[in-house]
Amino acid sequence: MISVGTCLLEGCELRRVELDLTERRARLVCEGATVVFEGVRAATLLAPWDGATGIVEELRVVAVAAGEICLELRVRYATVPRVHRVVCTDVRRE
């Protein structure tokens, strides 16, 4: 069971983001771990996904309610830090 405050990633290189809009799935592929978001309902995954390097400062659960999980993703890019939010029905680390 996932709870508020759970940190799923910390201090790893972000290699790529994969989005499957048909399946409502997103994957963060990082050095040493991949996180899969299932049943994505909303996301602000807007960033320089054009190959810009970045370090995941942390991916943390910030809210859990009514079958939804809200996560905050903090990425430090070479140019500018970004904070993203993802609301989904399930999240797992592979």
pLDDT of residue 17: 86
Q: Is the pLDDT of residue 5 over 90?
A: yes
For tokens 């029905």, name the residue.
Answer: 89
Question: What does the DSSP assignment read for 31-84?
Answer: TTEEEEEES--EE---S-TTT--EEEEEEEEEEEETTEEEEEEEEEESS-EEEE
pTM score over 0.85: yes
pLDDT of residue 82: 82
Domain-wise residue ranges, the chain: 7-93
pLDDT of residue 71: 96
Q: Is the pLDDT of residue 81 over 90?
A: no
The dihedrals phi and psi of 55, each to the nearest 5 degrees, come to -115, 125
Please state, for a pLDDT cut of 90, what percent of the chain lies above it: 63
- pLDDT single digits (tens) 38-58: 999 998 876 555 667 789 999
Cβ–Cβ < 8 Å for 69, 87: yes
